[in-house]
Amino acid sequence: MSFTVNLSGGGLLINRFNSSNMLKSTQEKLQRQQERDNKVAFFEAQKENLKNRKADTLEEISEKLEMFHNYENEIAAANQEYNNSQMFHVMDEAEEHGEKIAEAAERNKPKTEEERKEEMVDEALGTEENKGMMSEIMDELSETTEEMTEQMTEKTMENMEELPDEVLQEQLVTDSLEAAEMVQTETIKRYVPIDIRV
């Protein structure tokens, strides 16, 4: 959760709206608190300004007193408005919690035999959003084959420089057989049998 401190109107205001995991109703509550605090701070500042205002005549004193009561009434109204909105906030928050619980229950509900079979087929074939097991295995197999081919080619090139022609041909045949056996062994190791009835 991140906090932003804002100094305005002589009061300290903290902004806590930048949280992504907060309920919408909670964010609205914080926003209403912020609005109420801003109004109260404004009228408190106005009351403080009245102290600095000179009132020499009876009319000026009466006007100053009336403004003071108006500011007090505005502060009380802002607090009352916030309190009234809090009653609705409790209902909104309960509704949001209920919706989240319903979503979680829907995700976690037991699946029928048919749905489980469909999921297994989708996973095996890779038709879901992410790749399936078969495509992952094939990708790994092709990468392994390429690496082994490179290694065998390098090894063969080194041997070609060192050996005479007849030994060289024999070595090429042996290396080719070794490479084929390695690829076949890798394929067998990575093979995962999938038996699915559709």
Q: Is the pLDDT of residue 1 over 50?
A: no
Local confidence band at 106 (pLDDT 50, 70, 90 cut-offs): confident
Once rounded to an integer, what is the mean pLDDT over residues 101-106? 85
Q: Is the pLDDT of residue 67 over 60?
A: yes
Count of C-beta atoms within a 10 Å radius of residue 155:
14
Rg (CA), the chain: 38
pLDDT averaged over every residue in the chain: 75
* CB of 25 closer than 8 Å to CB of 17: no
b (16+ CB within 10 A) / e for 60-88: eeeeeeeeeeebeebbeebeeebeebeee
What is the structure's pLDDT at 38?
93
Which comes out higher in pLDDT, residue 120 or 33?
Answer: 33
Once rounded to an integer, what is the mean pLDDT over residues 86-111? 82
Let me know the angle formed at the C-alpha of 147 by 141 and 148, rounded to the nearest 5 degrees. 90
Q: Look at the alpha carbons of 8, 14, 19, 22 in this order and tell me if their dihedral is positive or negative.
A: negative
State how far the Cα of 79 lies from the Cα of 33, in Å rounded to an integer.
Answer: 9
Q: Which helix (H) or strand (E) holds 7?
A: strand 4-8
Please provide residue 159's backbone torsions phi and psi, each rounded to the nearest 5 degrees. Answer: -70, -30
Separation of CA 160 from chain center:
57
DSSP letter string, 106-168: HHHSPPPHHHHHHHHHHHHHT-SSS--HHHHHHHHHHHHHHHHHHHHHHHHHHHHHHS-HHHH
What is the structure's pLDDT at 146?
82
Q: Is the pLDDT of residue 5 over 50?
A: no
pLDDT digits (tens, 9 = 90+) for 121-157: 777 776 555 555 666 777 777 888 888 888 877 776 7
Within a 13 Å sphere around the CA of 67, how many CA atoms are in the beta-carbon half? 17
pLDDT digits (tens, 9 = 90+) for 11-47: 444 444 455 677 777 788 888 889 999 999 999 999 8
Q: Tell me the three state secondary structure of residue 5.
A: strand
Tell me which range, 2-11, 16-25, 52-61, 181-190, is most confidently predicted by mean pLDDT.
Answer: 52-61
pLDDT digits (tens, 9 = 90+) for 159-173: 666 656 666 567 667
Domain boundaries, the chain: 4-109, 114-190
